[in-house]
Protein backbone atom coordinates (compact mmCIF):
# COMPACT_ATOMS: atom_id res chain seq x y z
CA UNK A 1 0.00 0.00 0.00
CA UNK A 2 3.08 2.22 -0.02
CA UNK A 3 2.61 5.54 -1.80
CA UNK A 4 -1.16 5.26 -1.85
CA UNK A 5 -3.12 7.77 0.17
CA UNK A 6 -6.05 6.63 2.23
CA UNK A 7 -8.42 9.46 3.21
CA UNK A 8 -11.21 9.02 5.67
CA UNK A 9 -13.77 11.57 6.73
CA UNK A 10 -15.15 10.80 10.12
CA UNK A 11 -18.53 12.17 11.07
CA UNK A 12 -18.85 12.80 14.76
CA UNK A 13 -22.30 12.62 16.38
CA UNK A 14 -22.29 16.44 16.36
CA UNK A 15 -21.62 16.51 12.62
CA UNK A 16 -24.57 14.22 12.12
CA UNK A 17 -26.82 16.45 14.22
CA UNK A 18 -26.73 14.04 17.16
CA UNK A 19 -26.18 14.47 20.86
CA UNK A 20 -22.74 16.05 20.53
CA UNK A 21 -24.20 19.26 19.14
CA UNK A 22 -24.72 20.79 22.58
CA UNK A 23 -20.99 20.46 23.26
CA UNK A 24 -20.27 23.20 20.70
CA UNK A 25 -19.22 20.95 17.82
CA UNK A 26 -19.13 22.69 14.44
CA UNK A 27 -20.39 20.63 11.48
CA UNK A 28 -19.07 23.32 9.09
CA UNK A 29 -15.54 22.26 10.08
CA UNK A 30 -16.05 19.07 8.08
CA UNK A 31 -17.10 21.08 5.03
CA UNK A 32 -13.93 23.17 5.07
CA UNK A 33 -11.61 20.21 4.92
CA UNK A 34 -10.30 19.54 1.48
CA UNK A 35 -9.08 16.11 0.57
CA UNK A 36 -6.25 17.60 -1.47
CA UNK A 37 -4.99 19.64 1.51
CA UNK A 38 -4.66 16.65 3.84
CA UNK A 39 -3.14 14.49 1.10
CA UNK A 40 -0.70 17.28 0.18
CA UNK A 41 0.27 17.63 3.83
CA UNK A 42 1.03 13.92 4.27
CA UNK A 43 3.01 13.79 1.03
CA UNK A 44 4.87 17.03 1.86
CA UNK A 45 5.89 16.02 5.37
CA UNK A 46 9.44 14.71 5.63
CA UNK A 47 9.05 11.00 6.39
CA UNK A 48 5.31 11.69 6.59
CA UNK A 49 2.95 8.97 7.72
CA UNK A 50 -0.41 10.61 8.41
CA UNK A 51 -2.27 13.83 9.17
CA UNK A 52 -5.68 14.65 10.53
CA UNK A 53 -7.87 17.19 12.22
CA UNK A 54 -9.25 16.62 15.72
CA UNK A 55 -12.22 18.43 17.23
CA UNK A 56 -11.46 19.04 20.90
CA UNK A 57 -15.06 19.49 22.09
CA UNK A 58 -16.02 15.99 20.97
CA UNK A 59 -12.57 14.40 21.26
CA UNK A 60 -13.08 12.85 17.83
CA UNK A 61 -11.11 13.01 14.59
CA UNK A 62 -12.94 15.07 11.96
CA UNK A 63 -10.83 13.70 9.10
CA UNK A 64 -7.52 12.05 8.45
CA UNK A 65 -5.28 10.98 5.61
CA UNK A 66 -2.56 8.35 5.82
CA UNK A 67 0.08 6.70 3.66
CA UNK A 68 0.28 3.67 5.93
CA UNK A 69 -2.40 1.33 7.20
CA UNK A 70 -3.36 3.39 10.25
CA UNK A 71 -6.81 2.33 11.30
CA UNK A 72 -9.64 4.55 12.48
CA UNK A 73 -9.18 3.00 15.93
CA UNK A 74 -5.58 4.24 16.07
CA UNK A 75 -6.68 7.71 15.02
CA UNK A 76 -9.44 7.64 17.64
CA UNK A 77 -6.74 6.96 20.26
CA UNK A 78 -4.65 9.81 18.86
CA UNK A 79 -7.69 12.10 19.00
CA UNK A 80 -8.23 11.21 22.65
CA UNK A 81 -4.56 11.96 23.38
CA UNK A 82 -4.88 15.29 21.55
CA UNK A 83 -7.88 16.24 23.65
CA UNK A 84 -6.01 15.21 26.79
CA UNK A 85 -3.03 17.40 25.84
CA UNK A 86 -5.09 20.51 25.18
CA UNK A 87 -7.77 20.08 27.88
CA UNK A 88 -5.53 18.98 30.73
CA UNK A 89 -6.41 20.78 33.99
CA UNK A 90 -2.91 22.21 34.40
CA UNK A 91 -2.81 23.44 30.80
CA UNK A 92 -6.21 25.13 31.05
CA UNK A 93 -5.13 26.80 34.32
CA UNK A 94 -1.97 28.12 32.66
CA UNK A 95 -4.04 29.38 29.71
CA UNK A 96 -6.45 31.14 32.07
CA UNK A 97 -3.53 32.84 33.86
CA UNK A 98 -1.99 33.83 30.52
CA UNK A 99 -5.26 35.43 29.34
CA UNK A 100 -5.46 37.53 32.50
CA UNK A 101 -2.20 39.28 31.52
CA UNK A 102 -3.42 40.33 28.08
CA UNK A 103 -4.71 43.87 27.73
CA UNK A 104 -7.34 43.55 25.02
CA UNK A 105 -9.92 40.83 24.31
CA UNK A 106 -8.70 40.61 20.66
CA UNK A 107 -5.36 39.26 21.90
CA UNK A 108 -6.99 36.58 24.00
CA UNK A 109 -6.67 33.06 22.73
CA UNK A 110 -5.60 29.74 24.14
CA UNK A 111 -1.96 29.84 25.24
CA UNK A 112 -1.09 26.33 24.11
CA UNK A 113 -0.78 26.57 20.31
CA UNK A 114 1.66 23.76 19.46
CA UNK A 115 2.78 20.53 21.06
CA UNK A 116 5.67 18.46 19.72
CA UNK A 117 6.08 14.88 20.93
CA UNK A 118 8.79 12.50 19.81
CA UNK A 119 8.78 8.81 20.58
CA UNK A 120 11.34 6.24 19.55
CA UNK A 121 9.58 5.67 16.22
CA UNK A 122 7.32 8.67 15.58
CA UNK A 123 7.22 12.46 15.62
CA UNK A 124 3.82 13.95 16.49
CA UNK A 125 2.98 17.60 15.78
CA UNK A 126 -0.20 19.07 17.26
CA UNK A 127 -1.11 22.57 15.97
CA UNK A 128 -4.20 24.40 17.22
CA UNK A 129 -6.18 26.52 14.76
CA UNK A 130 -6.18 30.18 15.69
CA UNK A 131 -9.52 30.98 14.07
CA UNK A 132 -11.20 27.93 15.58
CA UNK A 133 -9.29 26.90 18.70
CA UNK A 134 -11.49 23.79 19.00
CA UNK A 135 -9.71 22.26 15.98
CA UNK A 136 -6.20 20.78 16.08
CA UNK A 137 -4.17 19.68 13.08
CA UNK A 138 -2.15 16.55 13.88
CA UNK A 139 0.84 15.54 11.72
CA UNK A 140 2.69 12.24 12.10
CA UNK A 141 6.18 11.55 10.76
CA UNK A 142 8.73 8.84 11.35
CA UNK A 143 11.19 9.79 14.11
CA UNK A 144 14.02 10.46 11.63
CA UNK A 145 12.10 13.40 10.09
CA UNK A 146 13.59 16.88 10.00
CA UNK A 147 11.64 18.62 12.79
CA UNK A 148 12.02 22.14 11.37
CA UNK A 149 10.78 21.11 7.94
CA UNK A 150 7.90 19.06 9.39
CA UNK A 151 6.83 22.04 11.49
CA UNK A 152 7.01 24.42 8.52
CA UNK A 153 4.95 22.12 6.26
CA UNK A 154 2.36 21.59 9.03
CA UNK A 155 2.07 25.32 9.71
CA UNK A 156 1.50 26.01 6.01
CA UNK A 157 -1.23 23.34 5.93
CA UNK A 158 -2.82 24.88 9.02
CA UNK A 159 -2.91 28.28 7.31
CA UNK A 160 -4.63 26.72 4.26
CA UNK A 161 -7.17 25.04 6.57
CA UNK A 162 -7.89 28.32 8.36
CA UNK A 163 -8.27 30.25 5.10
CA UNK A 164 -10.50 27.66 3.42
CA UNK A 165 -14.03 28.93 2.70
Helix intervals (H) in the chain: 28-32, 35-44, 72-87, 89-100, 147-163
Per-residue HEC secondary structure of 92-130 comes to HHHHHHHHHCCCCHHHCCCCCCEEEEECCCEEEEEEECC
What count of Cα atoms within 13 Å lies in the side-chain half-sphere of residue 75? 28
In the prediction, which pLDDT does 143 show?
Answer: 95
First to last CA, the chain: 32
Number of other residues whose CB lies within 10 A of the CB of residue 73: 8
- Residue 88: CB atoms within 10 A of its CB come to 12
- Each residue's pLDDT, cut to its tens digit, for the chain (165 residues) gives 344 433 444 433 333 333 333 333 344 544 455 667 788 888 999 999 989 999 999 988 888 888 877 667 788 888 999 998 888 888 778 777 777 766 565 555 666 789 999 999 999 999 999 888 889 999 999 999 999 999 999 999 998 887 776
Query: How many CB atoms are located within 10 Å of the residue 125 CB?
Result: 25
Give the pLDDT score at 142: 94
Per-residue pLDDT, 95? 75
The residue ranges of every structural domain in the chain are 27-163
Q: Which pLDDT score, from 0 to 100, does residue 116 have?
A: 94
Choose which CATH entry (2.60.120.10, 1.10.357.10, 3.30.450.30, 3.20.20.60) describes domain 27-163: 3.30.450.30
Q: In whole angstroms, what is the distance from residue 16 CA to residue 128 CA?
A: 23
Predicted TM-score (pTM) of the model is 0.75
Count of beta carbons in the 10 Å neighbourhood of residue 163: 9
From the list 109, 111, 114, the residue with the least C-alpha distance to 151 is 114
Amino acid sequence: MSGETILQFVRTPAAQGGAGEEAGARPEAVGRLRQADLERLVRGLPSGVAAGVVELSSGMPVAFSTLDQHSKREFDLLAAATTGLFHDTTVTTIERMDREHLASPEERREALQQVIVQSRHMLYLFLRCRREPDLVLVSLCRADANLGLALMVSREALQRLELAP
